[in-house]
Amino acid sequence: MKKAKGLLARFNTSYLIDNIVPIIFIGFTLAGFIVAKGLPINFFLSELTSRFYRNAFLVLSLLIPVVAGLGLNFGIVIGAMSGQLAILIVRYLSIDYLHLSGTWELILCFALALPIAAFVGFLTGRLFNKTRGQEMIASLIAGFFANGVYQFLLLFVVGVIIPVRATHPIIKPDGVGVRMTVDMGGLHYALDRIFRVPFMWAVLVVSLLVLALVVVMYLVRRKRGQQGSLVSFIIKVALLAGLACFSLYSIATNSRLMYVRQVPVVTVILIALLCVFNELIMKTKLGQDFRSVGQSQHIAAANGINVDRTRVIAVVISTVLAAWGQIAYVQDMGTLNVYGAHSQIGMFSVAALLVGGASVRKATVPQALIGTLLFHSMFIMSPEIGKAVFGNALLGEYFRTFMAYGVIGLALGIYAWNANRKSRITLDPEPVKEANS
């Protein structure tokens, strides 16, 4: 009896440790709402959704390397740089020669980013195979290294080795190198503006669609004779219906929520498609290979799986997705900070994923989405809390940087600590002899 209790207590503490990061963040966001009373909800939601549209794609690009056992791929900054290169090339050509519309520029960006990112992803993948067991630190350093190469390319190769028109708006006035910031011109909101709906309308439509889905699923299950929990069904229906009514009410009364930023439908659909892609690829042979390699490179190899190749594919996919994610990010921002836009996305995306409850070895689509929301809630709240509690918004800004680093450090530490604990050789528990005495 005592033993069982001890076991339960241990299970609880280990559960707490495993989920410490999300717990801290939920607590923090809730505390933030209580403390920062003045924060208008429509401002918060506008900020949060904007950040979600920009970052979700990047966070989702981290999933496959985690499944394939490469850990958290800080190297997505390399993908982001590829995306920015594609944007710069397209912008340069479009202004001088092609004169494309924003949408076509965007499509061209996506197309051009693919080979660039696939190539650098291939190189990073090869690097990770050579730094086996140290992939995470290698991916971090590789990002720094690539940043140096990227800057060299854009500051000294452009205009010196690659001839460019010196008076081009994205080229520095002296004709050598790309400017610090480049205007996106027609690319700004190229993806977002295709189709936009007011936030509460989107909530209404989505809640009604999900409601319909839930009802249909329930009926189908009933028909098949499977037992479904009636209680959970009723709760779901009630919640969704409530949400739909609430959005109707907001629309009718034109409440504050109507001033939340409009939903860029195509961007959201792309994010949804990426979620579906991540789920579907896991149901293919390739996905199963990712999992096998991720679980044990040794056993996968013994069963004839080409481990190195599988790992490289995982990194290539991740890098390409990151490149596309960065394009989606930049088109939403409107201007490209050529030498800075990419530098922190690796850290912030990884932190967001971990906040969702992912670990070095396990990460899912819901974790990525929830993590993005939670992490960016913290990001918005921090300065507000700093202002409200300490009268200093700067404090909040430093605080959120600290949280991003701290979350990653904590998650890595807990994972390594657990792994070490499990792999330690210990004696089997004392046999019967002792029980008798």
Helix (H, G, I), strand (E, B) or coil at 86: helix
Which secondary structure element, helix H or strand E, spans residue 335, and what is its range?
strand 335-337
Q: Is 390 near another protein (CB under 8 A)?
A: yes
Closest approach of another protein to the CB of residue 275, in Å: 16
Interface mask toward another protein for 165-194; x: CB under 8 A:
-----------xx-----------------
Strand partners, 158: 162
* Neighbouring C-beta atoms of residue 106, cutoff 10 Å: 24
Q: Is 337 near another protein (CB under 8 A)?
A: no
| Of 162, 179, 161, residue with least CA distance to 171 | 179
Among 42, 103, 147, 344, which residue interacts with another protein (rule: CB under 8 A)?
Answer: 147
Closest approach of another protein to the CB of residue 392, in Å: 7
Dihedrals φ, ψ of 337, to 5°? -85, 95
Which residue type occupies 359?
S
Q: Is 37 near another protein (CB under 8 A)?
A: no
Do the Cβ atoms of 192 and 57 come closer than 8 Å?
A: no
Among 46, 131, 262, 337, which residue interacts with another protein (rule: CB under 8 A)?
Answer: 131
Shorter beta-carbon distance to another protein: residue 46 or 131: 131
Please state, in angstroms and rounded to a whole number, the distance separating the CA atoms of residues 187 and 203. 27
Closest approach of another protein to the CB of residue 414, in Å: 9
Q: Is 415 near another protein (CB under 8 A)?
A: yes
Among 289, 314, 326, 329, which residue interacts with another protein (rule: CB under 8 A)?
Answer: 289
Shorter beta-carbon distance to another protein: residue 365 or 414: 414
Upper half-sphere CA count for residue 288 (Cβ side, 13 Å): 5
Name which of residues 339 to 358 contact another protein (CB under 8 A): none
Do the Cβ atoms of 302 and 237 come closer than 8 Å?
A: no
Do the Cβ atoms of 296 and 117 come closer than 8 Å?
A: no
Among 302, 335, 340, 366, which residue interacts with another protein (rule: CB under 8 A)?
Answer: 302
Q: Is 249 near another protein (CB under 8 A)?
A: no
Q: Rg of the chain over CA atoms, in angstroms?
A: 25
Shorter beta-carbon distance to another protein: residue 23 or 302: 302
Please report the sign of the dihedral spanned by the C-alpha atoms of residue 65, residue 70, residue 74, residue 78: negative
Q: Is 428 near another protein (CB under 8 A)?
A: yes
Provide the token pair at 285. Answer: 């042979």
Name every residue whose Cβ is closer than 8 Å to that of residue 305 and which is 6 or more positions away in sequence. Answer: 289, 292, 293
Q: Is 115 near another protein (CB under 8 A)?
A: no
Among 8, 10, 27, 152, which residue interacts with another protein (rule: CB under 8 A)?
Answer: 152
Residues of this chain that bind another protein (CB under 8 A): 127, 130-134, 136-138, 140-142, 144-145, 147-149, 151-152, 155-156, 176-177, 281, 283-289, 291-292, 295-300, 302-305, 390, 392, 394-395, 398-399, 401-406, 408-409, 412-413, 415-417, 419-420, 425-428, 430
